[in-house]
């Protein structure tokens, strides 16, 4: 499967807001599973906003749609 990441922020509520906004802007992620992932970068804690459960073509399509709407996005193999 494939995952897309649409951002990373120091606040989990902001990460969840990104997920909600992305769902409104891309039909390709309608059935994907949104999730946040906590990561440590030195002394800083970040929350990644991601969607899982995508096929490669859906991940790439979602990123194209999201980038067109002004959001960041990259796809990666899970």
Neighbours of 32 (CB within 10 A): 23
Model confidence, pTM:
0.94
Structure tokens at 26: 């891309």
35: Cα separation from own chain's centroid: 8
Averaged confidence pLDDT in the chain: 97
Please, what are the domains in the chain?
2-77 (3.30.70.1070)
Q: List pLDDT tens digits, range 20-53.
A: 999 999 999 999 999 999 999 999 999 999 999 9
CA distance 47 to 13: 9
Contacts of 72 (CB under 8 A, 6+ apart): 6, 7, 66
């Amino acid at each position: 499967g494939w995952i897309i990441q649409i951002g990373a922020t120091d606040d989990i509520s902001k990460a969840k807001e990104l997920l909600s906004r992305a769902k409104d802007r891309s039909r390709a992620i309608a059935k994907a599973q949104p999730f946040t992932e906590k990561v440590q970068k030195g002394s800083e804690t970040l929350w990644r906003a991601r969607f899982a459960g995508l096929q490669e073509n859906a991940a790439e399509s979602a990123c194209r749609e999201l980038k067109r709407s002004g959001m960041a996005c990259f796809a990666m193999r899970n």
